[in-house]
Chains A and B, each alone.
Chain A
């Protein structure tokens, strides 16, 4: 039993620190800074704890919780991205009067949910983790409660997400009904393509998961929620929940649905192609940079799902590599968006970027690197992400998927180029307020350096992922 608790140490530590920090927040007045710093410290300690656990695959609590290298990697990815998001959004949070002590605590809670999600080996634990994560995210979307747009997006997100959770839960219960167990391993052994009911269950679960990662046709909430939520929350939405959702999707494909690969493969291929096309086409007309990033994230999920669609380990690995690189780009991009402050107000219109290359050359070049990387132009990091995905896609002979994917790259290049055009080619239309904040510039710098020098050691990330995947 104590051995089991050892394995659960990261989750236990996180829960305890959440409660302690909550107490601190309640008992100290105006404790936002203190709470944030404590949360950051807790996250850093958490990384150390996770790094010090072994990577061998262990299942505990009657095989409902799994600890393996894969979960470890995903958890560390979630924590690191959260740390950077929290750091880079401080100025924004304080400027917009959403510096409430609950803010970081709810983020920690959602991380706890994600931890259980990615480590679950049982439908019940998976659903609990998912709900903990989702409930926290609803609150976060509506955290700017005096702002109609923010509350609206929170409610919208809640209603749609609750619906998808319902479908997912229905799928889970169907699965239980047909296989007699909630455990992934047992489900995996008793599922086969001949059982129509289990395929229904699989479809429902896929719908729920596709909603969480905002893949077409379950993407409708994404643009509205991205636009309505405070930018600091949008930043978080586009990173951590995406990783967790994709990771758990891969876990599902790998274990419980292993034997009905042919059935779900078609669905994933469809979702992937639809997301790539919609992400590319719908973003063209957007003038709000957050909305544009929402469509861009839909497109990127499409590419990541292309790796999943292969149904092979190398495909799953390429998806994980893809989402990792995507997060680096996304965090860098939002850190740049945090600098878009004009006359004391934060703007979201891309025309406010007009000609800023003259006044803010460093911001402009950061945008340039990140946008070209998002478009997947070599030699930047984004190219390698796509390269690895299409490597496995073509290995499995899915030429149609590869060609559609690469053609949508060209279409989506158009709207990334459009922003670059506005930044570099258009007339100067007013400069931004000076924001001197080391964590924003540091985040942007780190993101750009990682993307620009990725080509020097392009296989390091791959090696790490394949190491954790095979353990």
Chain B
């Protein structure tokens, strides 16, 4: 395809942000800034939907490839998508307008800057999922830190400074090792284009260190136990829209990185380190679920549950079976929607009574029934009720893991129970029970825009819970290709080493 649609999708939000930035001195500009940002993000959503429809589900290679000379002689600016990345682009393009709509209610000061930050962030996030070159990937991956740092720091809660610094430094520390690895790969293979690296194949003696360097970055981003501690802080202090983006998209970059880089580029190391990943994932599932049980802050609870859910994702991805990877992918997408929705729900309560503590609430269903209905739907989706996307993701992951090892599968299943425990307990304490706090009686139910957003999210979660085929078909060929290539490369390396 000649038309550079990927570049357009990447840079359209940036254009919108520039537009808002330049027209900042007009009067009544908050409104126009909101219109501009809504327009650009919706246009981007339409473009990515168009991309999805014109995407060929039966082709296993990369599509819509764009290539430009960038650093002459060294690196090409190369973009392209396959069945895995298109879904993340869709997710990003879908979540961004939701964030913008949600901030109309919750962000009161410096709205323009907020919108600029969100749009710039969208550019970087979509860039991450489109890039087919390690350096370009790194560029977008790191650049996303800047707007997120500002979003947490400027519009965050009380301990926002601490959280913003922790977020930034943790992620930067993980990523610099990846930069060393990327440059090393360039000098080993002579290129940073991942399709060419895949053909040249990285010699097996280098793979372990390189894998670890990439792992350090993705594990922090994911986040995996024990480097997950930045996440609860960042989630709690970030404004609602920030938490939503963080949970829905930024966390997925880690999983995407494993699928796109770690597994295809370093098959020997992947094989070698798989037990470690299982171990860490299991700890994440069990330990963070237990931690989530004890939380008194709603946002923190959801943050810890994110870590647990991400544990299923890594578990599923590294089973390297069809069902496992499908499940990991599906879990990421479903978590993207559900956790986003849960954070929005918490945000709705927070906007009204300015407390995130569970103990302030109780009996909310009596005063705001509509809200309570949606909250319960998402809580049930998060614990994996059949008929929601949450169920399918966990189910596929468990199928995958039971093929590999019964014991691990068993422990992972305990996590499902724990998840149900903290989610149901959360709902019980917040939604049901006696009204202890008189303020609850005067709460206003969701307004039109909040209701619409939550309704759309609920519909999608339930729709894909019953009919996941559109998503599964899109990734099907790519996932098969990933597994085939992985097995072929593994055999190639093993026979080469003999």
Residues of chain A whose beta carbon lies under 8 Å from any beta carbon of chain B? 358, 361, 372, 377-379, 383, 387, 390-391, 394-395, 399, 402-403, 406-407, 409-410, 413-414, 417, 420-421, 424-425, 455, 458-459, 462-463
Contacts and interface: CB of A to CB of B under 8 A. Distances in A.
A458 B70 CA distance: 7
6 contacts: A399-B184, A407-B176, A417-B169, A425-B164, A458-B70, A463-B72
B107 to A, nearest CB: 15
A459 B71 contact: yes
Contacts of B164: 417, 421, 425
Given A413-B169, A424-B153, A425-B153, A406 B143 contact: no
A410 B176 contact: yes
B70 A377 contact: no
B165 A421 contact: yes
B165 A459 contact: no
Contact of B74 (A383, A455, A459): A459
Contact of B161 (A391, A403, A421, A458): A421
Given A390-B179, A402-B180, A425-B160, A414 B165 contact: yes
A413 B24 contact: no
A455 B139 contact: yes
Contacts of A379: 139-140, 143
B187 A361 contact: no
A109 B317 CA distance: 66
Mostly helix, strand, loop or mixed at chain A's interface? helix
Contacts of A414: 165, 169
Contacts of B110: 358
Contacts of B187: 394-395
B70 A459 contact: yes
Given A413-B169, A459-B70, A403 B177 contact: yes
A459 B143 CA distance: 19
A406 B177 contact: yes
Given A390-B180, A409-B176, A410-B176, 12 more contacts: A361-B113, A378-B142, A383-B142, A390-B179, A407-B176, A414-B165, A417-B149, A417-B164, A421-B161, A421-B164, A425-B160, A462-B72
Given A394-B183, A421-B153, A425-B154, A413 B160 contact: no
Contact of B176 (A361, A406, A417, A458): A406
Contacts of B70: 458-459
A425 B110 CA distance: 12
Contacts of B176: 406-407, 409-410
A91 B24 CA distance: 28
Contacts of B143: 377-379
A399 B146 CA distance: 27
Given A379-B139, A425-B164, A458-B71, A391 B180 contact: no
A414 to B, nearest CB: 6
Contacts of A407: 173, 176
A395 B180 CA distance: 11
Contacts of A402: 180, 183
B368 interface: no
B168 interface: yes
Interface string B173-193: 100110110011011000000
A202 B70 CA distance: 40
A412 B135 CA distance: 22
Given A421-B165, A458-B71, A378 B183 contact: no
B139 A391 contact: no
B179 to A, nearest CB: 6
Contacts of A420: 149, 153
Contacts of B177: 403, 406
B184 A425 contact: no
A387 B73 CA distance: 15
Contacts of A387: 135, 179, 183
Contacts of B179: 387, 390, 406
B134 to A, nearest CB: 12
A426 to B, nearest CB: 8
A462 B70 CA distance: 12
Contacts of B74: 391, 459
B472 interface: no
Contacts of A377: 142-143, 145-146, 172
Contacts of A459: 70-74
B197 interface: no
B118 to A, nearest CB: 16
B329 to A, nearest CB: 27
B212 interface: no
9 closest A-B pairs by beta carbon, nearest first, are: A406-B176, A378-B139, A459-B72, A459-B71, A394-B183, A425-B153, A378-B142, A410-B173, A379-B143
Contacts of A406: 176-177, 179-180
B169 to A, nearest CB: 6
Given A378-B139, A459-B72, A462-B71, A403 B154 contact: no
Given A410-B173, A414-B169, A458-B71, A424 B183 contact: no
Contact of B172 (A395, A403, A413): A413
B399 interface: no
B138 interface: yes
A417 B172 CA distance: 12
A413 B176 CA distance: 12
Contacts of B172: 377, 409-410, 413
B297 to A, nearest CB: 21
B419 to A, nearest CB: 34
Interface centre among A372, A410, A459 (most CB of B within 10 A): A410
B150 interface: yes
Nearest to A422: B161
A455 B71 CA distance: 9
B322 to A, nearest CB: 36
Nearest to A408: B176
A69 B113 CA distance: 45
A458 B73 CA distance: 12
A372 B165 contact: no
A305 B180 CA distance: 18
B140 to A, nearest CB: 8
A84 B183 CA distance: 35
A417 B168 contact: yes
A288 B153 CA distance: 23
Interface in B111-145: 113, 135, 138-140, 142-143, 145
Interface centre among B70, B161, B176 (most CB of A within 10 A): B176
A378 B71 CA distance: 15
B30 to A, nearest CB: 14
Contacts of B150: 424
Given A378-B139, A417-B165, A403 B180 contact: yes
Contacts of A358: 110
A413 B71 contact: no
A77 to B, nearest CB: 21
Contacts of A417: 149, 164-165, 168-169
Given A406-B176, A459-B74, A413 B168 contact: yes
Contacts of B168: 413, 417
A459 B69 CA distance: 10
Nearest to B209: A399
A391 B183 contact: yes
Contacts of B72: 459, 462-463
B154 A394 contact: no
Contact of B24 (A361, A390, A409, A462): A361
B139 to A, nearest CB: 4
A198 B146 CA distance: 49
Interface centre among B72, B180, B186, B187 (most CB of A within 10 A): B180
Nearest to A369: B146
A391 B160 contact: no
